[in-house]
């Protein structure tokens, strides 16, 4: 289930460190490559040799350790698919939350852009302490997945919350993050992303701040779930996800032409692009010379792409976005109806951290029956997963119906 996946396993100084051996064994059984990173204190509880033998790889101990080539934390950060820290002490949790990088594991954490799972293990009073709970809150806000400690007998005596949760539950959580979902296998999905440019003259244009992040995240996630994906993108400084067919366009008209061309060959269209609603009535040839204080500009509306393709919808799914600043649900419902969509994903782009340019989004998904699902602020990656989970449900319903 984890073949081809590379897991960095951080082990910190808790009595539960011995369970790291069981975790390594289970992950290896599932086909993962496991690189163990131990803190100085973890070595007091379990020998690096044990973890080295079980993982079949050298254990990484210290940023400046003799056996490590320099900058190994950067190369591991680039190679690994996920960091699991089990057990995680109050100390390492505090370092992660506060950005302290004074050993290999805490430095690795700061260098990462992959999912991070943390399984705390400590005394019940330590776990309940506001300092620890505040740090946990900070990590959760940064999308670190906290595997809550179990309740029961503690090594320090007494009972309570704080013991490392069961190894099987930790492994299950890793699988949930990494195992390839194939829920869209056999489906062809067309995704649009980014802004369009509407030219006033050859050099100047009207545009918007869309970065393409939301649409690229959707394309990448659909591809991971087994779909054949075509991504039509306006100008964006992102690399298209691996394995995705990539079509670059510039203007709203170019987007309209490309969507019209590819729509029929796909099972679903997700319009995350911020397509201009208006374009200059006439484009001035060459470069307009500054001759007076005013430049009269007449704009005409662009073709509404979703409305156009909805006439040829057949049994394809149509998913639109709504970038709103007020009356979010009312306006989004109106667009859902007007554009004959199956789903609309509304985002309140006046909120900090939501919509254009940022790495996060808070979305409200509305379906044809008017059912409204509000989701909190999350990474665009996670938002893409939520949207595709919803789309998979629709595909299943259509199949069943
Ligand atoms: O790219 P990012 O920086 O990650 O930002 C993401 C985003 C804010 C661009 C994205 O989340 C988003 O909201 N995309 C839709 C933006 C938009 O144009 O919304 P709208 O409410 O104006 O349009 C409604 C829907 O009609 C959209 O699906 C749009 O793609 C579509 N449309 C718009 C104009 C047009 N001529 N044809 C269309 O099909």
- What is the pLDDT, as a whole number, of residue 63? 57
Q: How far apart are CA 204 and CA 270, in angstroms?
A: 29
Active-site residues, by number, are: 156
Residue 319 CA: nearest ligand 1 atom is: 28
pLDDT recorded at residue 370: 94
**Ligand 1-lining residues (CB < 6 angstroms):** 194, 210-215, 252, 271-275, 277, 302, 304-306, 320-323, 335, 347, 349, 355-357
Counting atoms of ligand 1 from 1, which one is nearest the CA of 331?
A: 21
Report the nearest atom of ligand 1 relative to the CA of 217: 4
Q: What angle do CA 326, 347, 207 make, to 5 degrees?
A: 90
User: Can you give the pLDDT at residue 302?
Assistant: 98
**Tens of each residue's pLDDT in the chain, 401 residues:** 787 889 999 999 999 999 999 999 999 999 999 999 999 999 999 999 999 999 999 999 875 554 555 556 677 887 898 999 999 999 999 999 999 999 999 999 998 878 899 999 999 999 999 999 999 999 987 778 899 999 877 777 777 888 999 999 999 999 878 866 678 878 999 999 999 999 999 999 999 999 999 999 999 999 888 888 999 999 999 999 877 889 999 999 999 999 999 999 999 999 999 999 999 999 999 988 887 678 889 999 999 999 999 999 999 999 999 999 999 999 999 999 999 999 999 999 999 999 999 999 999 999 999 999 999 999 999 999 999 999 998 887 776 65
Please tell me the distance between residue 177's alpha carbon and the centre of ligand 1 in angstroms.
29
CA distances from 145 to 34, 66, 114, 117, 190 (A): 19, 32, 11, 5, 31
Q: What pLDDT shows up at residue 64?
A: 59
Q: Pocket of ligand 1, candidates 190, 210, 304: which has the most ligand atoms within 8 Å of its Cβ, to mutate? A: 210
> Residue 156: how many CB atoms within 10 A of its CB?
14
Distance 12 CA to ligand 1 centre (A): 45
Q: What distance in angstroms lies between residue 341's CA and the mean position of ligand 1's atoms?
A: 13
User: Closest Cα to atom 11, ligand 1: which residue?
Assistant: 355
- Complete DSSP assignment for 119-186: EE---HHHHHSHHHHHHHHHHHHTT-EE-PPEEEE-TTSSEEEEEPPPHHHHHHHHHHHHSPP-TTTT
Q: Which of 252, 303, 313, 321 to mutate to test the pocket of ligand 1 (most atoms within 8 A of CB)?
A: 321
pLDDT of the residue at 180: 60
Residue 193 CA to ligand 1 centre (angstroms): 8
67 Cβ contact partners less than 8 Å away, ≥ 6 residues apart: 58, 61
Between the CA of residue 391 and those of 157, 168, 183, 235, what are the distances in Å? 49, 30, 10, 27
């Amino acid at each position: 289930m984890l073949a081809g996946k590379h897991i960095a396993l951080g082990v910190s100084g808790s009595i539960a460190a011995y369970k790291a051996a069981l975790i390594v064994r289970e992950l290896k059984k599932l086909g993962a490559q496991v690189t163990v990173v131990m803190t100085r204190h973890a070595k007091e509880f379990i020998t690096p040799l044990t973890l080295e033998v079980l993982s079949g790889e050298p254990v990484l101990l210290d940023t400046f350790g003799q056996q490590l080539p320099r900058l190994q934390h950067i190369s591991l950060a680039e190679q690994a698919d996920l960091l699991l820290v089990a057990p995680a002490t109050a100390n390492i949790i505090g370092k992660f939350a506060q950005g302290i990088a004074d050993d290999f594991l805490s430095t690795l954490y700061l260098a990462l852009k992959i999912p991070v799972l943390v399984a705390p293990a400590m005394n019940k009073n330590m776990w309940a302490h506001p300092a620890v709970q505040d740090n946990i809150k900070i990590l959760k806000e940064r999308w670190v997945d906290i595997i809550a400690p179990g309740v029961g007998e503690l090594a320090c005596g007494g009972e309570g919350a704080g013991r490392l949760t069961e190894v099987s539950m930790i492994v299950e959580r890793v699988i949930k993050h990494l195992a390839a979902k194939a829920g869209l296998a056999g489906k062809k999905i067309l995704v649009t992303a980014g802004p369009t440019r509407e030219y006033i003259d050859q050099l100047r244009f009207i545009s918007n701040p869309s970065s393409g992040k939301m649409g690229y995240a959707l394309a990448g996630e659909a591809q991971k779930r087994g779909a054949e994906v075509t991504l039509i993108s306006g100008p964006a400084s992102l690399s298209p996800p691996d394995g995705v067919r990539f079509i670059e366009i510039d203007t709203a008209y170019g987007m309209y032409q490309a969507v019209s061309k590819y729509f029929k060959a796909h099972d679903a269209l997700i319009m995350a692009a911020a397509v201009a609603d208006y374009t200059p009535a006439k484009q001035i040839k060459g470069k307009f010379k500054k001759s007076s204080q005013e430049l009269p500009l007449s704009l005409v509306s662009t073709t509404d792409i979703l409305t156009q393709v909805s006439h040829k919808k057949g049994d394809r799914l149509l998913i639109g976005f709504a970038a709103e600043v007020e009356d979010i649900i009312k306006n989004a419902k109106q667009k859902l109806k007007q554009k004959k969509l199956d789903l609309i994903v509304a985002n309140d782009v006046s909120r900090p951290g939501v919509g254009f340019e940022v790495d996060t989004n808070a979305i409200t998904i509305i379906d044809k029956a008017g059912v409204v699902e509000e989701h909190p602020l999350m990474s665009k990656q996670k938002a893409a997963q939520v949207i595709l989970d919803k789309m998979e449900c629709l595909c299943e319903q259509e199949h069943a119906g």
